[in-house]
Every structure is written in C-alpha cells, then in structure tokens.
Structure 1
Amino acid sequence: MKKAFLFITFLFYGLTLQAQTVNDVPLKDIDVEYVQIVGTSKLMSTKLTIEIDFGQKTKFFSSGKETIVKDADGKAVDFNSMIDALNFMSKNGYIFVNAYAITVSSQNVFHYLLRSEKNKSE
C-alpha cells in the first residue's frame, strides 16, 4: 500500500512539472538552443508578465497570449520579478546568458537571453 501511494505521488509530481507551457508546448519539450524571456510590468500590480520567445510562429494580429507561460489550467503564471522568472527557467533547464532593458512608453521592458542546458555544447 505504501509503495502504491509513493508511486502515485511521484507520478502526480512528474505530471505537474510538465504543466507549464508556452504556445501549448511544455517548457521541457522546447527543442531549441536559445530562448528569450521578456518581462513587462502589469498595470496596477507589482508582478510581471513574462513572455517567452523561442522562435515559435505567432499569429500576425495576436495579442501575445501564445508567448505567455501558462499553468496546467491554461492560466498565465504570475512572476514577482525577473529573478523569479529566471529561477523558474533555471529549474526548467535553462542557463542565463545575457540581459538588457529598453524603455517603451516610459515603461522598462526587460530581456533575458537563456541557453538550454540540454543543447549546450561543451
């Protein structure tokens, strides 16, 4: 009985790790060497909206929703800061490479370039 409980617990835990998606692709299944995370402040909030660009196709008139990290329920994942997003991506197999910020309409937009650990060449 105890073994069955542990098996179900680990199975559930494994499924929840794959729950975060971008453009309906699980983060761990994105097969590219580099990704860019872009953080913008949410209106009237201290949290950030994080978008992930891995070269995916997006619709011309899209609102950007297909580049936002979503949980298993399809809701946008909230991040407290760019470091929160960076730690999240590190847990999903990405290494920090470079960062820069630009100002758009008096709002800072942060760009972090990351490299996949599984695709890095030694």
Structure 2
Amino acid sequence: MKKPLLSITALLYAFALKAQTVNDVPLKDIDVEYVQIVGTSKLLSTKLTIEIDFGQKTKFFSSGKETIVKDADGKPVDFNSMIDALNFMSKNGYNFVNAYTITVANQNVYHYLMRNKKSKSE
C-alpha cells in the first residue's frame, strides 16, 4: 500500500514542478481572453527573453521582471526563438492571433497576440 501511495505522490510532485508562472500566477490559471508575448534578444546570446502581458499590475519603475515567464524554481525560462515561445503558449492553452515587430535602438522587439483557447466569444 505504501509503494503506490508514494508513487502517486511523487508523480503529482513532478507535475507541480513543471508549472510556469508570470507575476507568480500559473499560466494555465490566467483568466483572460488575450495575452501578448513580447520577445527581445538577450545580450550576447541567441536566446530570447519572453515577457507575457495579460493586463496584470506591475510596479511603476519595474524592470519587467514581473512579466517574465519563470519556472517552478522562480528562474526565467529561456526560449530559443519566438516560434519556441509560440509553441510553449499553444501547449498552455493559447492560439496565435497576430504578430508585428518594431525596432528599438537597433534591436528587434517581437509582439505576438494570443487568444485563450477556452474563450467563449468567437
């Protein structure tokens, strides 16, 4: 009896560790119709920093750390490309709507609009 209970507990713990959060809110618990992914290049890296805007409150002089996707340990999640982030958001219940890119100080900033798959209005 102890082995199955231990196995089930370990399995549930493993699933809990995979929870990604934005502003300490698990992605799957964000109850909004639309979110925006904003991707910027990391300095001296091929990876991107991805921020998620779902209309959450942020501090006035925020450095953007509240909007970065974090893993269960609170560390920022690295994405290889915007497509990597798009696939990630699709797995977390969002559909792609639209995208555009702007250039700020010779750096591309990618904006992807996503819609919650559970959205009731069509």
Q: State TM-score, norm by structure 1.
A: 0.91
Residue aligning to 1:85: 85
- What percent of counterpart residues are identical? 79
Deviations 1:31-56 (A, max 9, x none): 10000000000000000000000000
1:6 is displaced (CA, Å) by 4.5
Task: State TM-score, norm by structure 2.
Answer: 0.91
- Residues of 2 paired with 1:120 and 1:89: CA distance? 18
1:24-103 equivalences in 2 (<5 Å): 24-103=24-103
Aligned mates of 1:5, 1:114 — CA distance in 2: 39
Q: What amino acid maps onto 1:49 in structure 2?
A: T
Structure 2 match to 1:14: 15
Counterpart for residue 106 of structure 2: 106
Deviation at 1:10, TM superposition (A): 3.3
Cα distance in 1 between the residues matched to 2:46 and 2:15: 31
Unaligned runs of 5+ in 1: none
CA shift at 1:11, angstroms? 1.0
| Corresponding residue SS for 2:35 | strand
Moved more, 85-94 or 8-17: 8-17
Moved more, 5-14 or 109-118: 5-14
What is the one-letter code of the residue matched to 2:67? T
Report SS of the residue matched to 2:70. Answer: coil
In the alignment, the residues of structure 2 paired with residue 60 and residue 2 of structure 1 have an alpha-carbon distance, to the nearest angstrom, of 51
C-alpha RMSD of matched pairs (Å)? 1.5
Residues 55-98 of structure 1 show CA distances to partners (whole Å, capped at 9, x for unaligned) of: 00111111010000011111100000000001111111011000
- The aligned length equals 121
